[in-house]
Structure 1
Amino acid sequence: MHGAPPPESQELARVSERLSFVYLERCTVHRDSNALTATDERGTVHIPTAMIGALLLGPGTRITHAAMTLIGASGASVVWVGEGAVRCYATGRPLARSTRLLEAQARSFASQKSRLRVAREMYEMRFPDEDVSGLTMQQLRGREGARVRKIYAAESERTGVSWSRRQYKVGDVADSDFVNQALSSANSCLYGVVAAVIHALGMAPGLGFVHVGHDLSFVYDIADLFKAETSIPAAFDVVAAETTDPLNDVRRLLRDRLMTEGTMERTVDAIRHLFPVVAEEPQITYDEALSIWSGRADGRVPSGQNYG
């Protein structure tokens, strides 16, 4: 293998300590040692891959095989950005070498009782001063809908931006007013960042507890915990500043706010709160983490042995 060897897992930054995302467009992405390079007619920029949560590739980008190899080794997500949408099409190997969080997620998803517990706890995070433990899912959905309407109305009053209702057309984000365009763009970026955290923790983005039936259901679940303080106010602020390019301007504003407010670290904390397992795991190699199920609840025996 030519060049610097890929980073070992213990050399990588934890997902809570990484940059939220880096956006690139109309350039060629390549590799120089253990850094990515982005080259266009203005020159070349070096990007420390081990510090990226998600790499957003906008229109006109080309990426080399060497660059994708480095991203995979660094545990970052790659998100191709299209017109009006950000979708997580590919990701590197998770930063987590243990499956503890994934198993906790699967156990909670498989049981009606524990699934309802997780869903209620998600709503409790949005209603910190209310007791929702006795509410049904239908009641929780209704209360959440009323809360979101109040948030939109409050942001409209705060910024002076006119608001009627949430409106967007899948595949044609420009077919709406500026504030709805900004909301769609900001929410999409937030989904990409949350997806990067979920992938880095080794969890399943499709096993949702409020949202179901989509390969990003869990991403939407977790992103909804943060919209009221991230993507929604950012969208209204951008339009209030009389933007002429809401899709791009809100992305830049949201990127800075996600970084300064520590959203990635808070996302990790929220997930660990919902699925309480050992919070801190020792630095172990993949082979040391690999075990064989003993046939009993949570029972394991070492791998790499002949039990005949």
Structure 2
Amino acid sequence: MTEPGMSNAIIWQRQNLRELPKFRDGTTYLYLEHTRLEQDGRGVRAYHPEGMVTLPAASLSVLLLGPGCSVSHEAVKALSDTGCSLLWVGEGGVRLYASGLGETRSAARLQRQALLWANPQSRLRVVRQMYAMRFPEGLPPDLTLEQIRGREGARVRDAYARSSQAYGVRWDTRQYKQQDWHRATPVNKAISAGNACLYGLAHAAILSMGYSPALGFIHTGKMLSFVYDVADLYKLEVVLPVAFREAATPGDDLERRVRTGLRDHMTKLRLLERMAADLLRLLGGDDTDPNSTAPGDLWDPEGHAAGGVNHAGHDS
């Protein structure tokens, strides 16, 4: 798509990734259904039966693509070049099926995550830090991991009970069965829809910061284990108030209202900025992204060798 009088030859200039806003400075997310995305001379446009909008691609952190969405190759390239993560999700955003490339091009943070994950001592240290972040009063250092999990279970149970009382919504137990989605209670639907949005945001944060969503510290064995780790840091604070509030409000489109409410709530809490800072605090490293245009180093047991140069010497 081009504007009248605009040349079809060059309609997108590749931007310098280092000059774009950092992930935590961007907006939260946008969820789309039954929409066609195409590149035009100013970026990416979204065509929906109700109209057309130009997406704020340079400041958009994650784009959730629901059922009925189609994306042109050039639109994917344009969004990727601005650092926007594309997530293909199920109806209502309750499942995440696939994801695109994040903003960073460096493997430094991923390598540090792998080192912390592979060492039992450092992994346990990160696990304890993740649990401690959920308790403002802190945790006694002599607690075993099983005791910590017990306290976490009690914290979650109490949070559900308080939310139930505060919003006047009956709460029995957490139930989510993918096959019986339409039979779930409204509050369980609201929580599931909210969790899915939070997972998408955490997934985008992890990829954009250069970490692996698979190398979880508390959760393990799944390709999104670290996504669950990160989302659990904020789930009770972020999802529960919105989910119970919307479940208590009469009306249709419960999942849509939850997504809209969460977007506003996440912005108010500055959740993107918090996620970025917490990831760096948990896994270490600095807030810089090395020059993505520079060649990578070559591994050597005595220290990395420079990449992008000919090591044959003068004798070859």
Q: Which TM-score band applies after superposition, normalised by the shorter structure?
A: over 0.9
* Maintained 8 Å contact 1:88/1:192: no
For 2:216, the equivalent position in structure 1 comes to 208
Q: How far off its partner does 1:95 sit? A: 1.9
Structure 2 spans left out of the alignment, 5+ residues: 1-8
Match for 1:220 among 219, 228, 233? 228
| Whole-Å separation in 2 of the counterparts to 1:70 and 1:86 | 25
User: Quick one: distance in 2 between partners of 1:88 and 1:225?
Assistant: 22
Choose from 271, 294, 305 the match for 1:301. 305
Question: SS where residue 307 of structure 1 aligns?
Answer: coil
Percent of aligned pairs with the same amino acid: 37
List aligned pairs for 1:2-13, cutoff 5 A.
2-13=10-21
2:244 aligned partner, one-letter code: F
Moved over 4 A (4+): none
Rounded Cα–Cα distance in structure 1 between residues aligned with 2:41 and 2:99 = 22
Q: Which deviates the most, 112-121 or 34-43?
A: 34-43
- RMSD after superposition: 1.7
Change (3 A) 1:231 1:259: same
TM-score by length of 1: 0.93
Q: Secondary structure at the match of 1:193?
A: helix
Equivalent residue, structure 2, for 1:115? 123
Larger Rg: 2
- Partners of 2:140 and 2:192 in 1: how far apart? 29
- For 2:19, the aligned partner's letter is E
Report the TM-score when normalising by structure 2.
0.91
- Which structure 1 segments of 5+ residues have no match? none
CA contact (8 A) 2:88 2:97 kept: yes
Shift, 1:31, TM fit: 1.1
Aligned to 2:95: 86
**Cα-to-partner distance string for 1:227-263 (whole Å, 9 max, x where unaligned):** 1111111100111222432211101100111112111
Report what 1:60 is aligned to. Answer: 68
Matched, 1:125 2:133: yes
CA distance in 1, matches of 2:197, 2:154: 24
After superposition, residues 268-307 of structure 1 pair within 5 angstroms as 268-278=276-286, 280-281=287-288, 284-287=291-294, 290-296=296-302, 299-307=303-311
Provide the secondary structure at the position in 2 that maps to 1:142: helix
**C-alpha displacement of 1:88:** 4.9
- Cα deviation for residue 282 of structure 1 reads 6.2
Post-superposition offset of 1:304: 1.4
Residue 25 of structure 1, CA deviation: 1.6
State how many pairs are aligned: 303
Moved more, 7-16 or 223-232: 7-16
